[in-house]
């Protein structure tokens, strides 16, 4: 029998707390997965050794079938290369060029919008995940003097832009909206605009629209139900996905898949970070991590098991058997247990 190996990087802060709930959920499904834990990949290791993710760790991830990550980062490593060396290295060096971030309202009660006719969010943010402002190109002059000057270049390649726009069209049900800032950011803006129009021309049956990012955030809050797929560069996709997550019921519930659209290899993680403000208190919402694990098993072919997890999450939310951020009174472990109880 060939085992399916899942590498797991719990990370920092609430990362290990929520990842533990996701792993217990996978365990309850009895799918015969082989879990390879990389719990030494964390900020403590980085501070001690200067290297959080070694080449050997990278190889373990690369040769596994899929990866589940909690969240990385903490105040002690703010402004260092830590997140770049772990999360961005995995995204870039494994060429996980799609950051697929779905958002669908779980329960009317969770929407922050006053107008109830505009709450039914069901949308996917398709975020370019390998270039843009995250490319790490640039430099610094006269460092640590009052004359310090820094530059971070925004990289846009035809290869990168075309494959992410094509992916967005490939998953659209009704419409695709492209978000950029091409009225101000010149050269990259022209590339996105040009490819966007070509691709739209090839998909006459889908509705297409374009918004500048400032207007896009306004339109999203005004009526998020108008959107199906939104495609954006790395930075705007990052920002839009936290907004969509909150509109769909809360950042603690949102999932993401970092995937290579060609090979299908994926690294799955909640959209949220390590939440230092609540870390260690046992109240972090495990739903984002649990549903990210559901996305992972779905991509490996366990469709029924993934659907069962989603259904169980929905009923836990409907019964308010959830953490305080969703208006419940349960801790992380009990909230995870409520979801697993629904599976039995």
Q: Return the active site residues.
A: 134, 181, 214, 238, 242
Q: Please say which residue, 103 or 306, places its beta carbon nearer to Mn ion.
A: 103
What is the longest distance spanned by two Cα atoms in the chain? 63
Binding mask 216-245 toward ligand IPM (x if CB under 6 A, else -) reads ----------------------x-------
Instruction: Answer yes or no whether residue 83 interacts with ligand IPM by CB under 6 A.
Output: yes
Question: What is the nearest approach in angstroms of Mn ion to the Cβ of residue 213?
Answer: 15
Q: How far apart are CA 208 and CA 197, in angstroms?
A: 9
Question: What is the nearest approach in angstroms of Mn ion to the Cβ of residue 134?
Answer: 11
Which of 70-78, 125-133, 161-169, 199-207 is the region at the interface with ligand NAD (rule: CB under 6 A)? 70-78
At 319, give phi and psi (nearest 5°). Answer: -90, 5
Instruction: Answer yes or no whether residue 275 interacts with ligand NAD by CB under 6 A.
Output: yes
Q: How far is the first Cα of the chain from the last one, in angstroms, to the nearest whole number?
A: 26
Instruction: Answer yes or no whether residue 10 interacts with ligand IPM by CB under 6 A.
Output: no
At 56, give phi and psi (nearest 5°). Answer: -65, -40
Q: What is the 3-state secondary structure (H, E, C) of 194-254?
A: HHHHHHHHCCCCCEEEEEEHHHHHHHHHHCHHHCCEEEECHHHHHHHHHHHHHHCCCHHHC
Question: What is the nearest approach in angstroms of ligand NAD to the Cβ of residue 312?
Answer: 18
Question: What is the nearest approach in angstroms of ligand IPM to the Cβ of residue 257?
Answer: 11
User: 234 near 127, Cβ under 8 Å?
Assistant: yes
Question: What is the nearest approach in angstroms of ligand IPM to the Cβ of residue 71?
Answer: 7
Instruction: Answer yes or no whether residue 249 interacts with ligand NAD by CB under 6 A.
Output: no
At 328, give phi and psi (nearest 5°). Answer: -100, -170
If contact means CB under 5 to 8 A according to the sort of partner, which of Mn ion, ligand IPM, ligand NAD, none does residue 74 touch? ligand NAD
Q: Please say which residue, 271 or 306, places its beta carbon nearer to ligand IPM.
A: 271
Scanning residues 80 to 99, which ones bind ligand NAD (CB under 6 A)? 83, 87
Q: Please say which residue, 266 or 328, places its beta carbon nearer to ligand IPM.
A: 266
Instruction: Answer yes or no whether residue 74 interacts with ligand NAD by CB under 6 A.
Output: yes
Q: How far apart are CA 233 and CA 36, in angstroms?
A: 32
Q: How far apart are CA 160 and CA 320, in angstroms?
A: 42
Q: How far apart are CA 185 and CA 39, in angstroms?
A: 40
Tokens 């260690």, residue? 280
User: Which residues of the shown chain bind ligand NAD in the complex (CB under 6 A)?
Assistant: 14, 18, 71-74, 83, 87, 251-252, 269, 272-278, 284-285, 288, 325
């Amino acid at each position: 029998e060939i085992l399916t190996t899942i590498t797991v990087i719990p990370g920092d802060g609430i990362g290990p707390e929520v990842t533990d709930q996701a792993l217990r959920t996978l365990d309850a499904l009895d799918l015969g997965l082989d879990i390879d834990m990389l719990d030494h990949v964390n900020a403590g290791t980085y501070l001690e050794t200067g290297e959080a993710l070694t080449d050997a760790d990278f190889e373990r991830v690369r040769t596994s079938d899929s990866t589940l990550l909690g969240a990385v980062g903490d105040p002690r490593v703010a402004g260092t290369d830590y997140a770049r060396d772990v999360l961005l290295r995995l995204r870039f060096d494994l060429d996980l060029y799609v950051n697929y971030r779905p958002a669908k309202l779980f329960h009317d009660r969770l929407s922050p919008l006053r107008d109830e006719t505009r709450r039914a969010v069901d949308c996917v943010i398709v975020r370019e995940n390998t270039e843009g402002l995250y490319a790490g190109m640039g430099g610094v002059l006269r460092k640590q003097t009052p004359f310090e000057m820094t530059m971070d270049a925004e990289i846009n390649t035809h290869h990168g832009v075309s494959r992410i726009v094509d992916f967005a069209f490939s998953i659209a049900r009704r419409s695709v909206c492209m978000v950029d800032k091409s009225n101000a950011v010149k050269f990259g803006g022209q590339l996105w605009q040009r490819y966007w129009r070509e691709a739209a021309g090839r998909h006459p049956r889908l509705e297409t629209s374009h918004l500048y990012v400032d207007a896009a955030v306004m339109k999203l809050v005004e009526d998020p139900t108008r959107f199906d797929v939104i495609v954006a560069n790395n930075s705007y996709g990052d920002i839009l996905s936290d907004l969509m997550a909150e509109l769909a019921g809360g950042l603690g519930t949102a999932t993401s898949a970092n995937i290579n659209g060609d090979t299908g290899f994926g690294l799955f993680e909640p959209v949220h970070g390590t939440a230092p403000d609540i870390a260690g208190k046992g109240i972090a919402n495990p739903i984002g991590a649990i549903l990210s694990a559901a996305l992972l098993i779905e991509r490996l072919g366990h469709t029924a098991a993934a659907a069962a997890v989603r259904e169980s999450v929905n009923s836990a939310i409907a019964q308010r058997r959830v953490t305080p951020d969703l208006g419940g009174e349960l801790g992380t472990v009990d909230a995870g247990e409520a979801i697993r109880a629904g599976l039995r």
